[in-house]
Structures are given as C-alpha cells and as structure tokens.
Amino acid sequence: MASAAPTLTRTETDSLGSMEIPADAYWGIHTARADENFPITKRPISVYPDLVRALAMVKQASARANREIGVLDPERADLIDRAAQRVIDGEFHDQFTVGVIQGGAGTSTNMNANEVITNIALEMAGHEKGDYAFLSPIDHTNRSQSTNDVYPTAVKIGLSLTLRALLEELDLLRRSFLAKSGEFHDVLKVGRTQLQDAVPMTLGQEFHGFATTLGEDHSRLTENASLMFEINMGATAIGTGITTHSDYAPAVLKHLREITGLDLETATDLVESTSDTGAFMSFSSSLKRNAIKLSKICNDLRLLSSGPQAGFGEINLPARQAGSSIMPGKVNPVIPEVVNQVAFAVVGADMTVTMAVEGGQLQLNAFEPVIAHSIFQSITWMRQAMWTLRVNCVDGITANRDRLGTMVGASVGVITALTPFIGYAAAAALAKTALLTNRSVADLVVEAGLMSREEVTKQLSPARLSGLEAVTAAIPIIPTDDLIEI
C-alpha cells in the first residue's frame, strides 16, 4: 500500500516560537495560533464577506497613505495595494479562517488580513510565501497601524457595506406590501383593537400600514448608518498615535473615502474614539427596532390567516410545505414563523452588544469581536428573512373576499359609522340588541325609524365604512328606552 504523500510545510516564527504552516496557505503563524485558540463558533470571519473586503480596503488605503507620506517604499506599497485589491474583488476569502469570536480585541483578525495580503503580494512579486524578509506582515502591511484602529474601522466599513444590501431588501419588501395594498384596496373587513371587533376598514389599508411601517424603518436605518462613518485610523494603540507619522491620519482618511465611497471622517478625539463603542450600540438598537416591527407584522399575518376554517381565515398565505407528520392537509405559516425567530435572535444579539459595550475598560474595549459578530449576524439574518418573507409569502397572499364580506355584513361595529347621525347612546343600544338577536344593524336602524334604508345604505358603503369618505351631520336627540326592546 502506497504511503500518503508528505504534506509540504514552511516554518514561521513569532515571539512564542516556531510552527509549521501548510506551504500553500496564505495565512501564517498568527492565524494558526488563533485557529488553535478559538475553535468556538466554527464560523470563520469569511462568513461575513463585507468584513473581509473592508479589512482589505483599510490595508489598501494604508499602503497608499504610507507611500504618499514616504514611510513605505513605492515597490512594497504597490504590491500591498494590488494584493488588497484582489481580496476586495472577492479572491482568497477562504484564507480568512480565524473565528468570529476571539480574544484579543480583534488582533487575530488584523493579523489574518496582514498575513494573507502579504503572502499574496509575495507570490505576485515572485517570492515564496513566508519570505517576510522582503515583505513583512507587521513592518510593511501593518505599517502605521494597530489592531485598535484597523479593526473598528474595518468593522464600521463592513457594516456600512452590508447595510446597503439590507436596505435594498427592506425596500423590496415594502414595495411588496404596497402592491398588495393596491390589490386589496376594495376588500372590506372588520378592524380589531385588543383582538376584539372594532370598525370596518379595507384589507388594502391594513397592508398599506405594513408598507408604511417598513418605510419608516428604512429611514431610521439610513439615518443610523452615519454612526459608522466616524473612524479612528491614526490612533494606533490607544489614540495617541504612537509610531505613526503626523500626516498619516489625513492621508489614510482621504484614500479610504476614495476606496469605499463612504463619507468617512476622522474622530476629533482619537483617545475617546478608540475606547468608546457606543456607536455600535445605537446602530444595533436600530436593527432591533426594525426586527421587532417586522415580527409584529408577521404576527398579524399569522393571525389573519389562522384557521383556515376555525380561525380568522381572512387571508391565505402560500402553502410552502406540509405542516404536520400526523395531521393530513395541515399547512403552517412557516415563513412568518422563521421571521419571528430571526427577530428574537436580533433582540438577543442587541443585548449582547449592549453588555459588550458596557464591558470595555480604560483605553480599549476588548470585546469588539462579539460586537461585530452580533451586528453582522443580525443584518445578514434579517436580510435573508426579508427575502424569504417577500418571495415565499407576501407576494403570494390572497384575500378570502367572501368570508370578509360576510363578517363585515354581520359586524355590529358598522354602527359606529352611523353615530354621527343617530348619536352614541342610540347606537350603543342598537348594537346591544343586534348582538342579542343576531340581527342586522342596518335593519334595526331602519325599523327604529332613525334613518331611511337609502341613508343607511349610503353611510354603510365601503368608502365611508373605511374612512375614505367622511360625512357627518347634526345628531338629533333620540330617546333610547324603547330602542333596547326592538
């Protein structure tokens, strides 16, 4: 039996000693140690592609800035620049292997980026991977930088890029509800408050309300996106800018703005900015708001479609899969249910962010990795939840028009539309009678001589019941004693 071919390795050394690294790996010893130390989530940072791209953008901007201010020679700066661009373009993401949750305030992530970009550059220059005498991950790729300004800056840029996709999907979902509001504009139904029958409205009005809610959330998220635009590049370790040229911060800001297309600005107090993570908490809170409101909409969809025979049964959700292993024919509202669960996870992630922000000490918050992971996960899950809600649910919703019409016709709540003409006391008495006798409100009003059949029919038209037309008149004084006996 032939023996397996030996695995080719290269030897890399750090301050703790030496390790054998697979010869074809673009990562190096710092990444290898992190992979050994943090096998927690089994989820590498590459699960968030925008974070990887953002890290490469920071390295690219730094290389350009370092060349511009004369602290990095043009050859090495150009190699780092071109290697980073390849990562930005989507190459080598599988080499970003460190876990999303890690100790060290993001040092492992920063070093993973330094090593990968350096080894790509070495290969492009015709050198062997690991030939750090020519191009070093720390002395060259990380020049003028620290994890403590690179990592939070990359996280903010990555979140800004990821948020764009969320906002696009949120607007598509809003448009889907808006389309349904047009489709259902003439479908009367009974509105409800506190789960009890209220006054009539149209199903279109209900769906238009959903669309408006999502539009408001789009605006709030867009506003909160600006929280991610303040960066601390040039702060290095604690905000004092130690080891960094005084011209570096404005130079790297200029290049980052050009590369990202974002309206970034350097914090006025780099010491404060390096230790403060409050912006992440505010940003996370806006995501939670969106998730909670989306979950409420899904609760309403589940209620409105409940039954279909023994529940509300007002709308039909698309049947996506069999709902029971024991009850034939049962179909569950699985799409709204999964969105509900995503919302619960977002709420939990927001609490994680809150506690991590509070947990920082002195000049640095060591818990930024869990902050980053929590927010990236929330945005990613919410975007995917919105997609499945739109495509697999909302777009296919239909109305049970006959059932809705029957419920409106039998509803005592329609008498509210007549109170401007017969008064509240008379309307309340007739409503009680209608409930006791199971008779039509319209018939009782006409029989009591309070309004003619023509007047009642006019005021109970869909347009007036739904508030699209509002008509009132002076309320006559009507004795109510005899009305209760009708």
Other CB atoms within 10 A of residue 434 CB? 22
Query: Before 476, cis peptide (omega within 30)?
Result: no
The sign of the torsion formed by the CA atoms of 460, 438, 445, 426 equals negative
The answer to whether 73 touches 180, Cβ cutoff 8 Å, is no
User: Pairing between strand 230-231 and 265-266?
Assistant: parallel
Residue among 18, 282, 324, 461 flagged as catalytic: 324
Indicate if 466 belongs to the active site.
Answer: no
Work out the burial of residue 316: count CB atoms within 10 Å of its CB; fewer than 13 is exposed, 13-18 middle, 19 or more buried. middle
Which of helix, strand or coil describes residue 33? helix
Tell me the chain's radius of gyration from C-alpha atoms: 31
- Rounded to an integer, what distance in angstroms lies between the CA atom of residue 335 and that of residue 302? 10
DSSP 274: H
The answer to whether 74 touches 63, Cβ cutoff 8 Å, is no
Distances in Å between the alpha carbon of 448 and those of 117, 414, 444? 86, 16, 6
Dump the DSSP string for 105-131.
TTHHHHHHHHHHHHHHHHHHTTPPTT-
Catalytic residues: 324
